[in-house]
Amino acid sequence: MEPSCHGPAPARRAPPLRSEQSWQDGPSRPGGAVSDSTSRGAADAPPQPDAGWTPPSAHDSPTAQGWSAPATPPPPGPGGQGTPASHPHAPPAPAPTYRSWQPGIIPLRPLTFGDFLAVPFKAMRFNRAVVLGGPLLFALVAGLISVTATWLLFTDPQLGLLDSTPSVSGINGQTVAMLVLALVATLLADVLSSSIVAPGVARAVLGERIGLGTAWTQMRRRLGSLLVLYIASTVVYVALIVVVALPLLLGLAAGDSTGATIVLTVLLAFVLLLPAGLVVTILQGIARAMVVLEGLGAIAAIKRTVRLLKGRFWWTVLIVFVTALLINVVVGVLQQAGQIASLAALFVAPDNMAVLAVTYFVAYGITFLVSSVLLYSYMGSVFALLYTDMRMRHEGFDLDLARAAEARAAAAAGR
């Protein structure tokens, strides 16, 4: 807008928001990641602005009061003379555009490929208590139970696994119970570690930090749906493995152990198992975020994931494949470093089996713990970002997030 000799007039403010922003398509939100005063339900009518209110554009900047329209000059005074400007001033600095506005770890726009590679590490730093602390806590608990079960297994007098002349005469009931508990703890740790990351990332998008207790309170209400989703995915994985291994099993049963049967099994693994497994992983990862953030059931979350993936399926496959490959390379390097460190005991006490065993298990345990936390935190963040990105592209979710951040800034300024 050209400068006016009449001086700038104050910009008109957008009307107060009358709708409520929600992370979900329907009635729930990610543990309060979006303020109650700024959610937008599917059935709510959009707010009706006053005359002069304009949507965000490259010339408008977000303020604590809402999006404001450009200023207009005042009407001329009597005789065509306008009110002179009281003080000359330099032109204002360029206002930040809506597309570059970033209240949290991501700009409020559809994400790029590089964002999916780098932003998960930002989430780990920003909400570390949830994104890193959650998987660490669950992995520690499951690890301690598993170590206890393993210790009972090897020291069970009825098994005698550590005796020089072992004679298996049975197994202690306490050992069996501990092994079952370790299996259940490992399953729960997998479900919880991969799910608790979503609330931390959702809040980090708006620049909000939360504690582990807040994320746990939100997630535990959806534990049943998360378990159903996990079991359904496991059944599909097992079915795929059976289909791939079936030719090999039939060939072995018929006494045919030729190379043709093995080649057919390997081809089926590459043609069927890997692509189908990747698809199941994508559906499970994004649906898991929907279960936690939107409060959907397992089946409803899968259906909604399929709808949002339309037009973005192969792009999503590429993102998940590359990010999984990247983090698995990092995890592999860490595990190799742990194995090398465990071999150091050979130079310290090469003849002491107890020292060798303790050193190996300690090094392996630390490496496994760090690798698991990094894997769950990174991939959990990737799936939460995929969910956010798809809603931005299909549902204008970036506008909802902008309104929520505006209301939050206005509330903070009014205190």
Percent of the residues in the chain that have a pLDDT greater than 90, as a whole number: 40
pLDDT digits (tens, 9 = 90+) for 280-337: 999 999 999 999 999 999 999 999 999 999 999 999 999 999 999 999 999 999 888 8
Mean pLDDT of 263-267: 77
pLDDT at 42: 38
Is there a domain that residue 55 lies in?
A: no
Residue 92: pLDDT band (50, 70, 90) is: low
Residue 365: pLDDT band (50, 70, 90) is: confident
Beta-carbon contacts of 223 under 8 Å, excluding residues fewer than 6 positions away, are: 191
Concatenating the DSSP letter of every residue in 151-174 gives HHHHH-TTT-TTSSS-------HH
Is there a domain that residue 11 lies in?
A: no
Q: Rounded to whole angstroms, what are the CA distances from 256 to 154, 186, 245, 246, 268?
A: 39, 38, 14, 13, 18
Tell me the C-alpha distance between 391 and 64, whole Å: 24
Tokens of 75: 């009407």
Is there a domain that residue 261 lies in?
A: yes
Residue 166: pLDDT band (50, 70, 90) is: low
pLDDT at 101: 79
pLDDT digits (tens, 9 = 90+) for 29-57: 433 343 333 333 333 444 433 333 223 33
Q: Rounded to whole angstroms, what are the CA distances from 128 to 93, 196, 211, 378, 411?
A: 35, 12, 9, 12, 25
From 30-44, 76-90, 259-273, the region with the lowest mean pLDDT: 30-44
Q: What is the mean pLDDT of the chain?
A: 75
pLDDT at 349: 67
Name the most confidently modeled range: 24-28, 146-150, 158-162, 293-297. Answer: 293-297
pLDDT value at 16 more than 60: no
pLDDT digits (tens, 9 = 90+) for 392-411: 999 999 888 888 888 888 88
In 10 A of CB 362, how many CB atoms? 14
Tokens of 409: 């800034």
Residue 11: pLDDT band (50, 70, 90) is: very low
- The structural domain count of the chain equals 1
Tell me the C-alpha distance between 116 and 319, whole Å: 7
pLDDT at 161: 55
Beta-carbon contacts of 145 under 8 Å, excluding residues fewer than 6 positions away, are: 178, 181, 182, 185
Domain containing residue 199: 113-399
Tokens of 221: 């209400």
| CA proximity to 379, closest of 208, 159, 141, 124 | 124
Of residues 228 and 367, which shows the higher confidence score?
Answer: 228
Name the most confidently modeled range: 46-60, 147-161, 240-254. Answer: 240-254
Percent of the residues in the chain that have a pLDDT greater than 70, as a whole number: 68
Is there a domain that residue 27 lies in?
A: no
Half-sphere exposure of 63 (CA within 13 A, CB side): 15
Tell me the C-alpha distance between 45 and 288, whole Å: 29
pLDDT digits (tens, 9 = 90+) for 212-240: 999 999 999 999 999 999 999 999 999 98
